[in-house]
Structure 1
């Protein structure tokens, strides 16, 4: 077993859609993602088995949970955290340019399979 150090600047940035940029690193049991989000962009309705904790570093976003027909709405800004249980449908609308850290447990295997992250240097 060995500790690994990564710099966010060395992690490949992925543009998921206009205004949504993601970087992530993962271990065996958890994943940390950093998002740069532009006002007016968003993440469409989805769900995953992974528990998610979102930490708003800056900006403002609106989360909607449950169903598109009658969602539970929660706005969050810098300093707020949102805990999203696995299996809960949700979407995000970016109200102000934002930086968000998301923690997933276990790691998002769908992300890893679709866009493998380069292995860190062994040295």
Structure 2
């Protein structure tokens, strides 16, 4: 369901969708300028290194992750956050099962089928 510009997103109304082996995501609130996404990782799941033109900032809501940004890796736990500049190669490894809250600007059109 396309919820662009909707002021509220209720967790019970948003379905989890696959985002890789052992990884699922929920697209929360968004408009053309910004998008919030919750990402659930099983222990050992790998967010494959990739890049995109969006700025991304993320909060570790739960678990422990090794986060790599532009060749630098740090171990992050609940309450830690990170910032990914546009086009920086980055990835994540879930050391423990966990959850990230990602914010992108502009929105990820590819996440809602507006762009391939």
Give the TM-score range, shorter chain. Answer: 0.7 to 0.9
Aligned residues: 110
Query: So what's the TM-score if we normalise by structure 2?
Result: 0.86
- 1:64 counterpart residue number: 68
- 1:52 equivalenced with 2:75 (yes/no): no
How far residue 18 of structure 1 moved from its aligned partner, in angstroms, is 2.8
- 1:75 equivalenced with 2:75 (yes/no): yes
- 2:90 counterpart residue number: 90
How far residue 3 of structure 1 moved from its aligned partner, in angstroms, is 5.7
Q: What residue ranges of structure 1 are gaps of 5+ in the alignment?
A: 116-123
- 2:43 counterpart residue number: 39
What SS is found at the alignment partner of 1:9? helix
Shift of the 74–11 alpha-carbon distance from structure 1 to 2, 3 Å rule, reads same
Aligned pair partner of 1:14 in 7, 14, 17: 17
Shift of the 114–38 alpha-carbon distance from structure 1 to 2, 3 Å rule, reads farther
Deviations for 1:34-88, whole angstroms, at most 9, x for unmatched residues?
A: 011111001101000100011001101011122xxxx211111000010111110
Structure number with larger C-alpha Rg? 1
Query: So what's the TM-score if we normalise by structure 1?
Result: 0.82
Root-mean-square deviation over aligned CA pairs: 1.8
The structure 1 segments of at least 4 consecutive aligned residues displaced by more than 4 Å after TM superposition are none
